[in-house]
Structure 1
Amino acid sequence: MSPACRHNGPVDRSKLTHDDRSITGADFLQLNLTDAPPGRLSDWLTRRLRSAIADGRLAVGARLPATRVLAEELRVSRGVVTEAYQRLTEEGHVSGRGRAGTIVVAAPVALPEPVPPAPLTSFPVDFESFREVSAPIDLSPGVPDLAAFPRSAWLRAERTVLDGLSPSDFGYGDPCGAPVFRRAVARWLARYRGVSVDPDEVIIVSGVAQALVLLARILPPQGISTIAVEDPGSLGAREQLRKWGMRTPPVSVDEGGLRTGELRDSGAPAVLLTPAHQFPTGVVLDGARRRELMRWAGDGGLVIEDDYDAEHRYDRPPVPALRSMLAEHVCYAGSVSKLLAPALRVGWLIVPRKYRAAAVAAKREADLGSSVLPQLVLADLMESGELERQLRLLRRRHRRRRDVLIAALREHLPDARVHGAAAGLHLMVTFDGKFADVEVAAAALAHGVKVQPLSWHRQRPGPPGLVLGYAASAPGDLERGVAALASVL
């Protein structure tokens, strides 16, 4: 293969005469390479195609030329066209349909014209109301790339499961969960989180939210009505515990994670942690703090470990779960919300032996057990390797979107400090100054961009900031969202 075919530029473009260049183009959308900046052909082609979809020249249902055909017409490497199509696919504008080709499936969402910031009285004052607000660009954290949900693999697994079920399998199941899924979860945790657990110890729950509710119900009779939480830390988790009567004193987080000395001084008998990727700062609980936490737990403390997005890492080595080191002192909770989709509402809870009977009873009283069919499908995906393949796909897509968000922040908000880029589904951004980040979030929402103010996740004062999710947003939306934030700031 000639050198010209190995790069993302046109074939021997530097040697073309003026007359050659004047006819290098395609009748399709009147694409003309003389408009393209050197070295950024994929960017140029992506913008041209996106614009044509937005203004209706390429309507929903229209088919794009085959990558080989368009590359030949433009006299560029096929990789240039493939990359542009892939970007539009990730943005949700087109979809590959096998022999049917690449089809336009959705037009870009246009941001509304800038309007004066809404008064603060119109901004949601509580977390649940905020979650219900929609915006053209939603940078809320905690959601994976939902467009990448493995629909075909799910349907195949569902057919396999249904073909093997007997009529009795459609009755009420074990409140702890389907045995086959609990075995699959135990093996998954052993392989990817270093947790050695018997399947009988696994309780299937409706996400980590229900796991926290169950713990809030069973711990007070054991003398635990206070659970310390990280500061900053998840507002949603804190509110969940408080609604069930738990006190949630704050414990500071720094670059080493939770300050365990402060935890000991607080006198709290239990603590809720996100040690593998702290929310929202993104730091990892370091070795020294883990050892101090083990000593604290050995003296009678209880750790509640929310392992919420530990699998999504890009620039750092894996971090084992605390449960792998402190089995009888850790209540461990995880879910598939960050692996596949929150809509599935499937998670797991593992508790020390002395709490197991109470946890099982609380789960039975709550709902008689989680839905069985999704568990059986997930078990098939886990055991067949499909879930592992999905994780590898998501890592690539999420890493790229993270890089787009960081580049946009550097361009539009160069004074912002970015935290937590090595893993996860979001970035934390902090600023110098005295302004209120809630006001910034309110103004951004008025401009069509939804972000979470960092102060919502604090119990104590701290510098203003924002929590920006990137995994569920197309690269173009990330760039436009940051540009809108910059205009607000």
Structure 2
Amino acid sequence: MSESWVNSAERIGADLHLELAGTGSRRAALAQALREAIQEGRLAAGVRLPPYRSLAADLGIARNTAADAYAELVAEGWLTARQGSGTRVAERAAPARAVRVPKKPSTGFATPAHNLKQGQPDASSFPRNAWSTSTRRALTAAPHDAFGPGDPQGRIELRTALADYLARVRGVRTGPERIVICSGFSDALRLLFGGGVLRGTVAVEAYGLAFHRALLAADGVRTVPLGLDELGTRTEELDGHRGVRSVLLTPAHQFPVGGPLDPARRNAAVDWARARGGVVIEDDYDGEFRYDREPIGAVQALDPDHVLYVGSASKSVSPALRLGWMVLPEHLVAPVLAAKGQRERWTSGVDQLTFADLITSGAYDRHIRQMRQRYRDRRNRLVAALAEHAPHIEVTGIAAGLHAVLRLPPGTETATVNAATWLGLALDGLAGFRHSATGTALFDGLVVGYAAPPDHAYAAALDALCQILPPPP
């Protein structure tokens, strides 16, 4: 049995014959017929398809069947759907017998056409002039010992500058003697757990970086997830986990879902650490970037003896610097230094001196203010594009940070990520951040970084994003 449809020029501008062959699913048959029409060039890029209601009537199939077939092809990247513009053949979806979309898309482009990956700042915004000026000034003032073997605790100039800066901007309570310089958060985890400073099972947030969990697993550390809701991580669950002596949190801006940790839950985490003799590891990965609310101070200020604060220059300046810092409870300073060894292995002493000057000269504050405005504008453009082209997509986590979370209709995340890969659009699905032991997923979603593309490429990246989003359910 087969059904066919010959459209008129008034509907899509070119005569087209579709044949729905076989006795199986009408949705699958229609989707395949449309794919073949696009591959063979009978449906050219940009051509507008008829409304699914009209198509359903012509073919004698249910409206939902036609709508589902359209949605499937939009998710795969064959079609685009925009309010007011109808459903059209995507610009890159018509290879004219040259390339077929695999059932499971390949790993993607070696260099993606559009980069909306989370966690990456705009590399073109590196403060070259300010960095050069601070480097010259730091080298001129540096003592001779700055060019010898590196102090594993870090240059005193940087630790002093950081103690003042973190107190002023993040409310951190510390002196330079409690700060240990590292090459970033991953290095901090290696030192703390791989170096045997902290032991036992670690509680982590139900959604977070899989890379961090993998680092812990490589050191033989078991992790257990804490639930997540609109108030942030459910730190009250800590009491129910025996053997847990440390918890890893992103309290200022939960990664990746977004939002600050509720004050009562911040206090609950600190109270748990006091009672258990444990430690809260506070990952302040993007603490400088707040847009629609006042900055939220560090949890560390509630109890410097039970909260270990970690920050870095990766988001604020560049991940290429490999500059991070741990603000430690006093009793952990010596064990961390013992784990580091007698010499600094990773972080350049010259870069430490330069960054110290960048902070004390005020250039770092000026750079942060400039980038905060740039990223706020990027965030606003993302929100505006979604409001215009995909108003049914809810966007969350946008009050701070360098990424947003787009909530998708249920069951569409995998297909949407595959469609992005096909279009050369690099981004992440929310499921990739979920702990394997977490129960029910929060929702289907995309984690979209809006900081990485240079200014001239951002509009095209947003356009590609809007093309792959599923239509309204």
Please classify the TM superposition score into its range, dividing by the shorter chain length.
0.7 to 0.9
Give the one of 391, 396, 405 matched to 2:368: 391
Other-structure match for 1:288: 264
Distance 1:118 1:393, change over 3 A: farther
Q: Establish whether residue 422 from structure 1 lines up as the match of residue 396 from structure 2.
A: no
Other-structure match for 2:227: 252
Contact 2:425 2:461 in 1 (8 A): no
Distance in 1 (alpha carbons) for counterparts of 2:103 and 2:293? 42
Distance 1:342 1:273, change over 3 A: same
More helix by percentage: 1
Other-structure match for 1:467: 447
One-letter code aligned to 1:419: T
Give the one of 292, 298, 302 matched to 1:321: 298
Alignment of 1:53-92 (within 5 A): none
Other-structure match for 2:180: 203
Distance in 2 (alpha carbons) for counterparts of 1:456 and 1:164? 47
Other-structure match for 1:113: 92
Alignment of 1:226-375 (within 5 A): 226-267=201-242, 268-300=244-276, 301-364=278-341, 367-368=344-345, 370-375=347-352
Distance 1:270 1:165, change over 3 A: closer
- The offset of 1:121, in angstroms, is 6.4
Contact 2:270 2:307 in 1 (8 A): no
Give the one of 434, 445, 448 matched to 1:458: 434
Contact 1:118 1:446 in 2 (8 A): no
Distance 1:186 1:166, change over 3 A: closer
Distance 1:259 1:366, change over 3 A: farther
Other-structure match for 1:482: 465
Give the one of 162, 171, 191 matched to 1:194: 171
- The offset of 1:182, in angstroms, is 0.7
Distance 1:376 1:140, change over 3 A: same
Distance 1:262 1:373, change over 3 A: same
| Unpaired segments ≥5 residues, structure 2 | 1-89
Other-structure match for 1:48: none
Q: Establish whether residue 136 from structure 1 lines up as the match of residue 113 from structure 2.
A: yes
Other-structure match for 2:384: 407
Distance in 2 (alpha carbons) for counterparts of 1:216 and 1:382? 30
RMSD over aligned Cα atoms: 2.2
Q: Could you state the TM-score of these two structures normalised by the residue count of structure 1?
A: 0.71
- The offset of 1:158, in angstroms, is 1.0
Matched residue pairs, number?
A: 369
- The offset of 1:326, in angstroms, is 1.6
Distance in 2 (alpha carbons) for counterparts of 1:373 and 1:306? 25
- The offset of 1:413, in angstroms, is 2.4
Give the one of 149, 174, 181 matched to 2:126: 149
Distance in 2 (alpha carbons) for counterparts of 1:367 and 1:286? 38
- The offset of 1:346, in angstroms, is 0.2
Q: Could you state the TM-score of these two structures normalised by the residue count of structure 2?
A: 0.74
Distance in 2 (alpha carbons) for counterparts of 1:133 and 1:304? 35
Other-structure match for 1:45: none
Other-structure match for 2:154: 177
Contact 2:208 2:434 in 1 (8 A): yes
Other-structure match for 2:45: none
Of the structure 1 ranges 340-349 and 254-263, higher mean CA displacement relative to structure 2 is found in: 254-263
Contact 2:416 2:469 in 1 (8 A): no
- The offset of 1:285, in angstroms, is 0.7
Distance 1:166 1:332, change over 3 A: closer
Distance 1:366 1:265, change over 3 A: farther
Distance in 1 (alpha carbons) for counterparts of 2:262 and 2:178? 28
Contact 2:254 2:260 in 1 (8 A): yes
Q: Secondary structure at the match of 1:328?
A: coil
- Deviation string, structure 1 residues 437-482 (Cα, Å, up to 9, x no partner): 2342232111010110100111234221110000122331342232
Contact 1:175 1:369 in 2 (8 A): no
- Deviation string, structure 1 residues 232-269 (Cα, Å, up to 9, x no partner): 22222222222221111111111111112222213322
- The offset of 1:225, in angstroms, is 2.3
Distance 1:299 1:432, change over 3 A: same
- Deviation string, structure 1 residues 139-171 (Cα, Å, up to 9, x no partner): 011122222211111111111122234554311
Of the structure 1 ranges 358-367 and 172-181, higher mean CA displacement relative to structure 2 is found in: 358-367
- Deviation string, structure 1 residues 25-68 (Cα, Å, up to 9, x no partner): xxxxxxxxxxxxxxxxxxxxxxxxxxxxxxxxxxxxxxxxxxxx
Q: Percent identity?
A: 39
